[in-house]
Amino acid sequence: MGKKIGMKYLIDQLRKEHKLMSDQYRALLTVRDPQVTEYLFTQAREVAQAQFGKGIFLRGLIELTNVCRNDCLYCGIRCSNSNVSRYTLTREQILDCCEQGFKIGFRTFVLQGGEWGEERSTWIADLIRDIRHRWPEYAITLSLGEHTRETYAMWREAGADRYLLRHETHNERLYRLLHPQGMTIQHRLQCLDWLKELGYQVGAGIMVGSPFQSLNSIVEDIMYLADFKPHMIGIGPFIPQHDTPLARFPAGSVDMTARLYAILRLALPQALIPSTTAMATLSPDGRLRGILAGANVVMPNLSPTDNRSKYALYDNKASFGAESAQGIQQLSDDLSTIGYHIDWSRGDSPHL
């Protein structure tokens, strides 16, 4: 009984002060009492609703390309996976996706893809200019990996508003275990700093339950995010992909991911937190569980249907039904079962 009261006190303290000590985060991540976890989720929901009401923002996800120069050990589109049939959408295909999305009602796009060399950055800049010119009211989000400060500046100048770059893990040792030689956490964090300086709304985040990840490293991530204060937080469970060196590891957990949404909602009340595709992939009610833990964004897939299976970051990645732009009615119906609805606005960060 005393322990339960102590844990609820911690949750109240996090809601009030927006931060805890590392041991206290560890306790919240591991508490087994269902009443305490439900209390955590309820507090997070209340905070999300105070900021955003019961509206869930949508972002139309366009997977531009599965061509990637990187070789991240967890990722199905890593450059050394020779079983991937590589594609890059044409400018016309991308604009077509934007047009379709606009008609459905989307006002934010996420252009995501594998990481290209800097020599193709001007192609992206021209694309951003085209989109900005044709649909001035769109918010344009990029998720294209690590680049030079100059490239980020060029894309910002061309009209990009937001940038998602998960830091993946703040722990240096774990980062090295998950990435090829040459990729460093220091450079990843440098990129996030540059993006912020350049005036992007920035998203950082991690994979939950990745191989070799410890509870301490997750706590380290919470501390980093609470300190960096990104506008957006992208977190999803790790899911193995059969052609990668990490194929035999188990997937991360929906429950642990939901706890992280809740803790980060209380730490950063104004953050935009998607309930991610990986949540929906692992569990039919994964998306809704994320929302009930304080997430407030969903990113339906707007990519051409023929290409979706080729953007296989992990096995069985959900991209149809309520995960797709074509399944918006289903998403809307699902949301209404828990008393939420779609918010069709651009959904900018309130702390701008």
For binding to ligand SAM (CB under 6 A), which residues are involved?
Answer: 74-75, 112, 114-115, 143-145, 165-166, 168, 207, 236, 238-239, 241, 278, 313-314
What residue type is assigned to position 26 of the chain? R
- Nearer CB in complex with ligand SAM: 143/324: 143
- Report in angstroms how near the CB of residue 332 gets to ligand SAM at its nearest: 26
- Nearer CB in complex with ligand SAM: 101/114: 114
- Report in angstroms how near the CB of residue 123 gets to ligand SAM at its nearest: 16
Distance, in Å, from the CA atom of 100 to the CA atom of 327, rounded to the nearest integer, reads 13
| DSSP codes joined into one string, 216-262 | HHHHHHHHHHHHH--SEE--EE----TTSTTTTSPP--HHHHHHHHH
- Report in angstroms how near the CB of residue 166 gets to ligand SAM at its nearest: 4
Question: Do 151 and 144 meet the contact criterion of CB atoms below 8 Å apart?
Answer: no
Q: DSSP H helical segments within the chain, as ranges?
A: 2-17, 22-30, 34-52, 91-104, 121-134, 149-158, 172-178, 185-197, 215-228, 254-267, 277-282, 286-292, 305-308, 328-337
- Nearer CB in complex with ligand SAM: 179/259: 179
- Nearer CB in complex with ligand SAM: 11/84: 84
CB atoms within 10 A of CB 64: 25
- Nearer CB in complex with ligand SAM: 115/130: 115
Distance, in Å, from the CA atom of 225 to the CA atom of 206, rounded to the nearest integer, reads 10
Q: What tokens were used for 204? A: 């950082």
- Report in angstroms how near the CB of residue 193 gets to ligand SAM at its nearest: 16
What residue type is assigned to position 127 of the chain? L
- Report in angstroms how near the CB of residue 287 gets to ligand SAM at its nearest: 15
- Nearer CB in complex with ligand SAM: 139/165: 165
Distance, in Å, from the CA atom of 291 to the CA atom of 268, rounded to the nearest integer, reads 15
- Nearer CB in complex with ligand SAM: 144/293: 144
Q: What tokens were used for 41? A: 């989720």
- Report in angstroms how near the CB of residue 7 gets to ligand SAM at its nearest: 29
Distance, in Å, from the CA atom of 65 to the CA atom of 291, rounded to the nearest integer, reads 29
Dihedrals φ, ψ of 101, to 5°?
-65, -40
Question: Do 113 and 65 meet the contact criterion of CB atoms below 8 Å apart?
Answer: yes
- Nearer CB in complex with ligand SAM: 76/294: 76
Helix (H, G, I), strand (E, B) or coil at 144: coil
- Report in angstroms how near the CB of residue 9 gets to ligand SAM at its nearest: 34
- Report in angstroms how near the CB of residue 24 gets to ligand SAM at its nearest: 26
Q: Are strands 207-208 and 232-233 parallel, antiparallel or unpaired?
A: unpaired
